[in-house]
Chains A and B, each alone.
Chain A
């Protein structure tokens, strides 16, 4: 009986010990995983994850804060210069007259006054040459043939601000090209008529009225003389 009681008590003690161990173990594991809401991990944002802009253009503009923190120093390679070169005029494809290369005229001398009075004006969102404008182009063609042989004519297409930027770039291009087509039909050599569109970049009138818009929808004709 005594032995039984002894073994019972030792068993009880062992159970108590185990329960104690279990409690400690549970407490430890709870502490390890965190009763208070802890952080699963830390994310380190790597340096150099920002796009670096190399070249002399790297100074931040006035008023803006450079806040890229510890990004690595910007590579200071200047943007490569793209030099003009003479390009040949592509053979005509599609329904229009192939555009003239403008680069061969890049150092020709500009005269913006000669045909200022013959600036061609367009209706809103249109690129066709109006009947009222044709006489101007007839005069330009006549004078080019009689007085300015060997000279070229740059045709600049412009738009008012009521179109979006890239839409207007395309519309201004079309205006310059349709002016050129008309002049070609009047006998001028299309290869000597480079075109360029400025879209809405260079308004003649900075106003926002209908009158101002009308002045901006234009093709300007610039006489080009070969360099001496």
Chain B
């Protein structure tokens, strides 16, 4: 009797354990990338088929995935099946079509269907591309509300849920985000000349960051949120300056006889890229954020580059080439041949270093658009009023 229990009960328990742990294996997925890389090092879009969702949930999910390295194909061509439903709550699943292996399943609750779908889209992006999704990110931008009148707005990255941040009846320019989406910096003409203000979103509290004689504009916040680069003309010419985020500790970085413009930071916070006419034509330069000599950044093939924006992964600088029309281009961060992307201006990289926000269209009738850089897929973003420009993507 004892020998019986010693042999068979443990064996039974072992079998039981094997079966249950086989089910748990589904919860622990191998983290591997399912796609291939193209010649520039971008992930080729992963082909999926989406079904089961309806209405807004379906369109929002498909929109989100376009800018996160996923493409929509027929069931036959798909590598992964994305299925789910959106009744009282959104439920989403990801299945490997070939092996029929269920890779992921989750339900989402709270806030709104849209927010739930965005959360699912981000989970799909992480699963299939190993990159943090952008479906739940935000943008700030300028909205023209009248002749020589504009306000700062913020919205979901797709333009939905827009809210005004300012209502000064003045001119604003160049909004940019403080880390953690706690606030913004922007230039405002409220007090006459353009000055740079910080604006805490939850309380509306504002403080002047740069209010020097002459112009104060084009703020760019360092990735760690501790410093701001900006253009000040207090010395008699528009020059590049850096200061602490509250405007103290001002340091002049350039003192050319020509105009500097449009600073942006490298993701490691050590370098600033900007445009300058110091050689008589508009070119891009880089300079150490702690000062030093400027280095020309070649953008071969793209004339008059300006409005640079550095990708968060450090690899690329997108910019506007002021040719006969404005062209969004990008170049390797060390400079070199410029690759044209799409007609438009004022690029702002998404946190995933793959999508870009930009604006296009004639003055006073501009609209924001999204671009997936490797596939060149473009989608318009919901527009507020007649003219939206100067997008800034919260990183």
Contacts and interface: CB of A to CB of B under 8 A. Distances in A.
Interface of A: 11, 14-15, 18, 21-22, 25-26, 29-30, 32-34, 37-47, 49-71, 75, 77-80, 82, 84, 87, 89-90, 92-103, 106, 125, 127, 161-167, 169-171, 173-174, 177, 181, 194-203, 206, 208
A61 B153 contact: yes
SS of B interface (majority): mixed
Instruction: Name the prevailing secondary structure of the A interface residues.
Output: loop
A49 B162 CA distance: 15
B270 interface: no
Contacts, number: 322
A177 B206 contact: no
B258 interface: yes
Given A101-B213, A198-B148, A45 B20 contact: no
B349 to A, nearest CB: 17
A45 B205 contact: no
A95 B236 contact: yes
Interface string B200-231: 11111111100111110110000000000001
A102 B193 contact: yes
Interface stretch (B65-73, B113-121, B333-341, B369-377): B113-121
B213 A51 contact: no
A175 to B, nearest CB: 9
Nearest to A191: B213
3 A-B pairs with the lowest CB-CB distances in the bound complex, closest first: A96-B236, A99-B214, A33-B23
Interface of B: 4, 8-9, 12, 15-16, 19-20, 22-24, 26-27, 89, 91, 93, 95, 102, 104-112, 114-116, 119, 138, 143, 147-148, 151, 153-154, 160-167, 171, 173-174, 181-182, 190-195, 197, 199-208, 211-215, 217-218, 231, 233-239, 252, 255-262, 275, 277, 282, 304, 306-307, 320, 322, 326, 345-346, 362-364, 382, 384-385, 389-390
A163 B204 contact: no
Given A59-B164, A92-B235, A42 B107 contact: yes
15 contacts: A15-B8, A32-B20, A38-B105, A40-B27, A42-B89, A42-B108, A78-B204, A84-B191, A94-B235, A94-B252, A99-B234, A169-B173, A170-B215, A171-B259, A194-B193
Contact of A51 (B93, B192, B201, B385): B201
Contact of A37 (B105, B304, B364): B105
Nearest to B17: A29
Contact of B110 (A38, A46, A64, A78): A46
A106 B191 contact: yes
Contacts of A50: 111, 161
Given A59-B164, A69-B115, A166-B262, A51 B181 contact: yes
A96 B4 CA distance: 99
B217 A64 contact: no
Nearest to B150: A201
A66 B154 CA distance: 12
